[in-house]
Amino acid sequence: MFAGVVALGAASVFAANAASLPDFTQLVEKEGRAVVNVSTTGTVRENEAGIGGLDDDTLNLFRRFGFPLPPMAPQPPRERQTQSLGSGFIIDGAGYVLTNAHVIADADEIKVKLVDKREFKATVIGSDARTDVALLKIEAPNLPKVDLGNAEQLKVGEWVVAIGSPFGLENTVTAGIVSGKGRNLPDETYVPFIQTDVAINPGNSGGPLFNMKGEVVGINSQIYSRSGGYMGLSFAIPIDVAMKVAEQLKVSGKVSRGRIGVTVQEVNEELAKSFGLPKASGALVSSVEKDGPGDKAGLKPGDIVMAFNGQPVVTTSDLPRMVTDTKPGTNARLQIWRDKAARDVNVVIGEMDQPDRASAGREYKGGKKEDSNRFGLSVREITNPRQLKELGLKYGLVVQGAAGAASKAGLMQGDVIAGIGGQELTSTAQLKKALDDLKPGQALPLRVLRGGASLFISLKAPDK
């Protein structure tokens, strides 16, 4: 009798515990249909330099027995196919898909696979390396779509669910809680990340993070790991940030961001005291770009920005986000702390260059290209004034791909074409005309910048 009571009590405890745990089944069944697998294929050119064309084992024999090494000889660049897997989700019935920019960065071809096994070729509408957001488009009927939520309403400790394709395992579901909000990561000053303890692994990138209402609140983007796998910390891009980016990408294919041309640092307690500030808050201006928007407005090193257009700047990371969200060309009012007193400064917002070095690895490289099938050469115009200035050029074309005659001539991906013979390059049309005018067997001397050095490469027109 006593044993029976104990058994009944244990069963009641288990039942109570089961009732208190969240049930994700309906969420997964309803929303999982709009989660997709994103697979990409691309071509990577490997530029090698070897010794006499010998492999490592042979070279080790030379070294071991003291034989003199053959002279250094450049090896022809090799091309190899790359494949990657990621996740994404459909945001409307027209076929727009959100994913991470790094998922499609090196892609030549992108395919989107649905839960019902339908597979479609995707077009890149736009990609933003800074926020790691990319917008794709597929043409397909009867598409499911996710419901979008509000990331600002998330609370730390709240249950969240991720659906994606870790290690290629499609529609894998993992769950956890929100561990923190507004997280700043190194070199990631434009995204206030949602931190979770949801298990995220390679392949989950670009997939949705759901709240318990079945609404997408974020895009799973990064993990903290020393091994390459999940270690308890994962980070998602808030969906409101991602959707602002997506709207700009849909309209213009790129994201326009504001800038004021200052470098800022955190205000700690000691700095606050030394500047006569009542409390440690705001963004301390450590340097001002000459002739930049901030310089023209009168900002100086040592100014502490307390508010931007009436919004308090509590931490340093607040200011870059507020500025970048402001349309270039608009007037903004900054409340600053200078000489132990508050004052207002008006600044005209400038436009940020695209992209930056910190996010270069996430830049989509399959963008607009000018190419010539006859020479196997594809190039892209350098539009970043700062990059042109660093190269000492007024105009330049980056080699995006070199096959056929271009590869045989020695052109490599990443080379910058700066001139034709002794003339400076001034336009893509100039290069195209010079190439089109070549007869079979004739060659064109191109001045190329590579690794900080300038060299000439003779590009020969292929025989018919």
Q: Is the dihedral of CA 69, 74, 78, 83 positive or negative?
A: positive
φ/ψ of residue 212, rounded to 5: -75, -10
Alpha helices in 21-121 (DSSP H): 25-31, 56-64
Catalytic residue among 165, 205, 317, 378: 205
CA gap 393, 146 in Å, rounded: 47
Q: Is 205 annotated as a binding residue?
A: yes
CA gap 402, 199 in Å, rounded: 40
φ/ψ of residue 231, rounded to 5: -135, 20
Q: Is 164 annotated as a binding residue?
A: no
DSSP helix/strand/coil, 149:
coil
Return the closest-CA partner of residue 275 out of 340, 344, 343. Answer: 340
Distances, alpha carbon 19 to alpha carbons 16, 28, 114, in Å: 5, 18, 33
CA gap 246, 35 in Å, rounded: 17
CB atoms near residue 292 (< 10 Å): 16
CA gap 107, 127 in Å, rounded: 12
Q: Is 211 annotated as a binding residue?
A: no
Burial of 131 from C-beta contacts in 10 A (0-12 / 13-18 / 19+): buried
C-beta separation of 336 from 299 below 8 A: yes
Whether 252 sits among the annotated catalytic residues: the reply is no
CA dihedral 140, 143, 149, 151 (to 10 degrees): -40
Q: Is 53 annotated as a binding residue?
A: no
Which tokens is 198 given?
């949801």
φ/ψ of residue 103, rounded to 5: -65, -35
Whether 463 sits among the annotated catalytic residues: the reply is no
Catalytic residue among 39, 102, 127, 318: 102
- Residues 6 or more apart whose CB falls under 8 angstroms from that of 407 comprise 76, 77, 376
Strands 147-148 and 215-224, how do they pair? parallel
C-beta separation of 355 from 367 below 8 A: no
Q: Is 171 annotated as a binding residue?
A: no
Catalytic residue among 106, 128, 132, 303: 132
Whether 132 sits among the annotated catalytic residues: the reply is yes
Residues that constitute the known binding site = 102, 132, 203-205
Residues that constitute the known binding site for substrate = 102, 132, 203-205
Residues serving a catalytic function are 102, 132, 205
